[in-house]
Amino acid sequence: MSSVRLLSSGQGLAWESLVDLVGADSACVPRVVLRDRISAVLVEEVPSPAASILKQCMLAGGADALVHREVLTCRIPASRAVVYGTPSAILRGCNSLEGQPFGLSDTGCEIRKLMKPDALADRLRVNNRNLIFTETPLVMGILNVTPDSFSDGGEFLSPEEAASKAVMMEKAGADIIDIGGESTRPGSCAVSAKEQIARVIPVIEAIRNFTDVPLSIDTCLPEVAEAAICKGAGMINCIDGMETPGMAELAVSLGVPVAVMHMKGIPETMQINPSYGDVSREVAHYLLSRVESLVNRGLSAGSILVDPGIGFGKRLEDNLSLLHSLEWIGLITGCRVLIGHSRKSFLKTITGIELPDRRDSITHVVTSLVTGADMVRVHDVTGTVAALKLALAIRRAL
């Protein structure tokens, strides 16, 4: 079996050097240098016939492999190979390696280990219920109990209305429901802890009269989080990466899972000329720093979700780049990935649909197309569940 080594999990590659390293045709450099946000694995000493098989198997999965230019002629006995592609494409290529000669089955197993770190949690425990990660993302239903959220403000102000909506979302297939008492739409102002508590606690109490569905509290304030957890929430969803003093310590002391998000600035000003040099890399490394900080305080990495913050201090091109980079964000951080793209304004920019509540259908398109999301935070649970079922059926039919 050839030895394998991970070269990149999306941080960028010195392609010219890699072409020289394996002896590949230099004519491919202009093509491969355009590829970024991918993983790359170096495989040492692959017999020439095996190198050709390796390349074909990776191509079958949607990935590729750089090999020496003379492997087809067998003028050299062996070649290094650089396998590259998105993690999911490389994994599909590994599936094609099963049963192949020259020890390629074992090589595929070693590559697979690099693409799927053992530390990646297979479940999230919320409110004494295990949420199992599978082929399709878990569904987090949005329940805003605010007068001014961008698409559903004022719809669920009474505890009875909110509880009824929560029960409906659970029946529709929501794995968890996220309750927020503060609008964080662009341009919104902060809401006090006292006001947030007055909005969310009666709702949590009302929901708990009907169902034990897992609940998440969407807040940046430790006072709100603690009150919500005491009344029946089981997770904290924090848009500022849990940087508010006391939030990280609270999560550790309560032993609850958390979602940490990237946001550039604050909601009131975040959409005023945001800019990035490399948005995917900057967001990924910010999230990694927050994960490391939480783990150092005693929180298990398996209880942390990372959220790239679609629409939070992001331009259209930033949102699209992040949606394209979810897999390697998960690899870099070692955590499952949550995305909140539902009804966001970047969908309006692309499609021209003005009213947020009319954007559910295109929200479902994004949910079905992107790879690497382990949980999706959405308004329309029924449509999301249906879209995910259809996408899974199509994938399994291929």
Can 336 be counted among the known catalytic residues? no
The DSSP result for 82-143, as a single string, is EEEE-HHHHHHHHHHHTT-TTTHHHHHHHHHHHHS-TTS-SEEEETTEEEE--SS-EEEEEE
pLDDT at residue 33 is higher than 80:
no
Dump pLDDT digits (tens) for 215-245: 999 999 999 999 999 999 999 999 999 999 9
* 301 and 335 Cβ atoms separated by less than 8 Å: yes
pLDDT at residue 4 is higher than 80:
no
The pTM is what? 0.75
Task: Estimate the crossing angle of helix 104-115 against helix 48-61, to 10 degrees.
Answer: 50
Which stretch of 153-157, 233-237, 264-268, 327-331 has the lowest confidence by average pLDDT?
153-157
Catalytic residue among 69, 281, 290, 377: 377
For the ranges 71-75, 113-117, 212-216, the one whose mean pLDDT is highest: 212-216
Q: Over the chain, what is the mean pLDDT?
A: 89
Dump pLDDT digits (tens) for 15-27: 788 888 888 888 8
Can 389 be counted among the known catalytic residues? no
157 vs 394 pLDDT, higher one:
394
DSSP 72: T
Q: Which amino acid, one-letter code, is at 292?
A: E
CA distance 214 to 309: 22
User: Which pLDDT band holds residue 30 (cuts at 50, 70, 90)?
Assistant: confident
CA angle (91, 93, 98) in 5-degree steps: 95
Which stretch of 94-98, 113-117, 120-124, 386-390 has the lowest confidence by average pLDDT?
113-117
User: Which pLDDT band holds residue 325 (cuts at 50, 70, 90)?
Assistant: confident
CA distance 342 to 357: 9
pLDDT at residue 354 is higher than 70:
yes
Catalogue the long-range contacts made by 236-244 (C-beta closer than 8 Å, 24 or more residues apart). Answer: 237/178, 237/180, 237/261, 237/338, 239/184, 239/263, 239/267, 239/307, 239/309, 239/312, 241/286, 241/287, 241/290, 242/290, 242/294, 243/290, 244/220
DSSP 374: S
List the structure tokens of 18: 């890699």
User: Which pLDDT band holds residue 29 (cuts at 50, 70, 90)?
Assistant: confident
34 vs 47 pLDDT, higher one:
47
CA–CA distances in Å: residue 227 to residues 166, 204, 214, 253: 19, 10, 16, 14
Kindly state the average pLDDT of the residues 384-388.
97
User: Which pLDDT band holds residue 87 (cuts at 50, 70, 90)?
Assistant: confident
CA distance 376 to 339: 5
- pLDDT at residue number 5: 77
* 163 and 209 Cβ atoms separated by less than 8 Å: yes
Dump pLDDT digits (tens) for 127-179: 999 999 998 999 999 999 987 554 454 566 789 989 999 999 999 999 999 99
The residue to which tokens 């309750």 are assigned: 179
Which stretch of 48-57, 110-119, 277-286 has the lowest confidence by average pLDDT?
110-119
pLDDT at residue 35 is higher than 70:
no
Q: Are strands 129-132 and 123-126 parallel, antiparallel or unpaired?
A: antiparallel
- pLDDT at residue number 151: 47
Catalytic residue among 231, 281, 290, 344: 344
- pLDDT at residue number 3: 75
Dump pLDDT digits (tens) for 303-318: 999 999 999 999 999 9
Dump pLDDT digits (tens) for 177-203: 999 998 887 777 789 999 999 999 999
Kindly state the average pLDDT of the residues 3-30.
77
CA–CA distances in Å: residue 328 to residues 82, 218, 283, 288: 18, 25, 11, 12
Nearest partner of 10 among 38, 30, 45, 51, judged by Cα: 38
Kindly state the average pLDDT of the residues 333-349.
94
> 112 CB contacts (<8 Å, ≥6 apart)?
91, 94
